[in-house]
Structure 1
């Protein structure tokens, strides 16, 4: 019985946090990582554990998204962005290892808060004029940055969202591309995290696996809620919440000392 209790409460906490992130992702179309990673850090987890939990939790959502939008996905658009993203992921992990060795958790929270705040402000103010075709240089900037940040802080989505927002694609093409890009990089990301951090990631991965039935229900509810509230209003609420998360992260040393 004590063993069951000692497993249940950590699982419940991770499930609740993942549920919030997946719900917002399904409803608003973004922000799962920017909500889940800093929240788990506040609860005492480190970035590799939080990243692993999030990656495993998003597997069903990405598979379902790719299947539902398969007719809108153009495979040739995935090749070089995928290579750029996956290729820079281990560099982000190496930077993360250096940060973990050099700084305490409270400073890591502060760093992640700064990343969340910067990404939130950029998302709020960046409104590109969509074009039929972008210079390839922008892909070679956006996707290596995405892969590096995915390895470093578990949040590689914003750079990809900025890139697709600059295209004159319809909503199904944009969402199909993002789902496919997440899905194609999931397995390499999970393998590399285990290669670098080993057994410490087994428990968060198993907790996330055990949460998947609940997360599937949360995804369905999030889609319905987003349709009911409207994406523009939900986007404003989500950005406000992310802004608060970023500020709290930056202020964490003083909150802790207080």
Structure 2
């Protein structure tokens, strides 16, 4: 599989990558989820590796997460993110180690693994409906956040376990979004540092490309919010889930698709 090359001569050829990032951020803003589970498999289908896709995704989400934490800072309780954040970040190196070991696998096998994760996440989103309550037993946090960190490290898609955990609380929308923005933000720097330690300069170019795309990504985020309001998040959510299921099945069937 190829890696990003950030040179003037092939910048034009990278336009599809920027468009993919914009699409993921657009959907994330409109539907409230799916940036990672959409961007990672599509970039894989374009021939890029998971580390390259992860680097681009992490950098692309920095403005959105910073703005989300700032705008919802009154809803975020620092004590509530300390242990979940620790559990998520502590297991990140394990996921990245598994990812490093996976590089010897055939491309089709890697696509199948990612496709399986995407399909499982989409199906779980449809059928897992936690009952909101004021308090959860701590064991659920010690399951959800390490799993989130592991999935973030190995396939770049650690959001679903955190989302299910948050949905099990009787929080309002602002509390929910503030917590998730904070969790994503506290793990960004560690995730990039661990990826750099494992893969070196290979992740630098995709990160720079995503950084150069930030103005376009910001516009995508703004239009995504407006589009989600116009279409309705429930309908957009259903469309997004259908798209994710198609991506998941396509990944699983990749050895037979050309």
Shorter-chain TM band: over 0.9
Q: CA deviation at 1:40?
A: 0.3
Aligned with 1:183 (options 149, 166, 185): 185
Matching residue of 1:21: 24
Matching residue of 2:162: 160
Deviation beyond 6 Å, 4+ runs, structure 1: none
Matching residue of 2:4: none
Unaligned runs of 5+ in 1: none
Matching residue of 2:210: 208
Render the CA deviation track for 1:207-256: whole Å, top value 9, x for unaligned: 10110010001000000111111111111111011011100000000003
Render the CA deviation track for 1:105-158: whole Å, top value 9, x for unaligned: 111001100000001100110111100000000000000000000000000000
* CA–CA distance in structure 2, aligned partners of residues 197 and 99 of structure 1: 13
1:99-138 maps to which residues of 2 (within 5 A)?
Answer: 99-101=102-104, 103-138=105-140
Matching residue of 1:58: 61
Q: CA RMSD in A?
A: 0.8
1:1-258 maps to which residues of 2 (within 5 A)?
Answer: 4-10=8-14, 12-101=15-104, 103-256=105-258
SS of 1:4's equivalent?
Answer: coil
Q: CA deviation at 1:160?
A: 0.2
Q: In the comparison of the two structures, how many residue pairs are matched?
A: 252
TM-score, length of structure 2 as denominator length: 0.96
SS of 1:6's equivalent?
Answer: coil
Render the CA deviation track for 1:158-195: whole Å, top value 9, x for unaligned: 00000000000000000000000000110111111011
Higher helix share: 1
Q: CA deviation at 1:8?
A: 2.6
Q: CA deviation at 1:99?
A: 1.1
* CA–CA distance in structure 2, aligned partners of residues 79 and 212 of structure 1: 29
* CA–CA distance in structure 2, aligned partners of residues 141 and 167 of structure 1: 16
TM-score, length of structure 1 as denominator length: 0.96
* CA–CA distance in structure 2, aligned partners of residues 199 and 8 of structure 1: 22
* CA–CA distance in structure 2, aligned partners of residues 190 and 164 of structure 1: 25
